[in-house]
Amino acid sequence: MKHYIIALFFLFTISLSYSQTSPEDELGAWYTYFGNHRLSNKISIVAGGQIWAYEPTTNLNLLLLKGGINYHINSKLKFELGYSFLDIDRSIQGLEGRHIFEYRISEQFAYKHELGNLPIDHRLRLEQRLFNLRVGHTSKNRLRYRLGTKIKLNKTLFIRANNEVLVHLEKDFFSENRLYSALGINLNKSCNLQLGYMYRFINDLNLHRLQVSLFIKTDHRKKKV
C-alpha cells in the first residue's frame, strides 16, 4: 500500500506541474533508447541516444548519441566514463546559428540502496562540454545530480520517478531542473518500455515533454556450469 501511495504522489505532482502555464504552445517529446551490456563482473558498456522534438512528430530540436564504459565497484556502486555527440538545432528559438555541435565527456558515479522497502538510486555526473559554433569554439562544465526510485506494481508494470538538478560550474550556477515520472512495462527479462512525462524548468521557462523510452539490458558473462 505504501508503494501505491508514493506512486500516486508522483503522479499528482506531475499533474500540478502541467497545470501551470507553459511559454510554449506545443507539447514536446523526447524519444530515448539505451542499452546496457554486461561483459564481466566488473565491466559493462552502454550505448544509445535521444531525439528531442518541439512537437511530438515535428520540429526536431536535438540528436544525442552516447557511448560509455562502466566499472562495477560492487553490487551497489559503479563508475562510468562516457562520451556523447550532440547536434542541436536552435533555429526555432530564433537564435543565431542554425546548428550547434557539442562533444561531451562525462564521469559518473551511480549508487543504489533501499530506504525501508523503497529502492533508491543516486546518479552524480560531471560533464565537460565542448561546443563547435559558427563563430568559434567554447566550453562549459556542468554537474548533475539525480535522485530516483522504481516502484514495482506487479511482474509487468512499474512506476519510474526521478528528479535531476543541473548546475554550471562557471557563472549562472543554477542551470535547470527535470522532474520525471513514467509507467514502465517489462516486455521481457531484458527489455522495458517507459511511457512518461517530464516537467523541465530551464532559463525561466516551464517546458512539458512526453517521454517514450526503450531500455535493454544484456548479460554476456559466462554462466557457471
Q: Give 224's pLDDT tier (boundaries 50, 70, 90).
A: low
Per-residue pLDDT tens for 179-209?
999 999 999 999 999 999 999 998 788 889 9
Whether 225 is covered by a domain: the verdict is no
CB 32 within 8 A of CB 182: no
Whether 224 is covered by a domain: the verdict is no
Higher pLDDT, 176 or 18: 176
Name which of 17-26, 47-56, 172-181 the model is least confident about. 17-26
CA 137/CA 139 separation, integer angstroms: 7
- The answer to whether residue 93 scores a pLDDT higher than 90 is no
Entry pTM:
0.85
**Res 5: pLDDT:** 47
Strand partners, 31: 51, 212
Cβ-in-10-Å burial (0-12, 13-18, 19+) of 136 comes to exposed
Whether 147 is covered by a domain: the verdict is yes
Residue 62: give its domain's CATH number: 2.40.160
Domain total of the chain: 1
Region 144-161: mean pLDDT is 96
Per-residue pLDDT tens for 32-55?
999 999 999 999 999 999 999 888
Whether 20 is covered by a domain: the verdict is yes
**Res 98: pLDDT:** 67
Whether 171 is covered by a domain: the verdict is yes
Nearest CA to 145 out of 164, 128, 169 is that of 164
Q: In which domain, by residue range, is 179 found? A: 2-219
CA 85/CA 78 separation, integer angstroms: 23
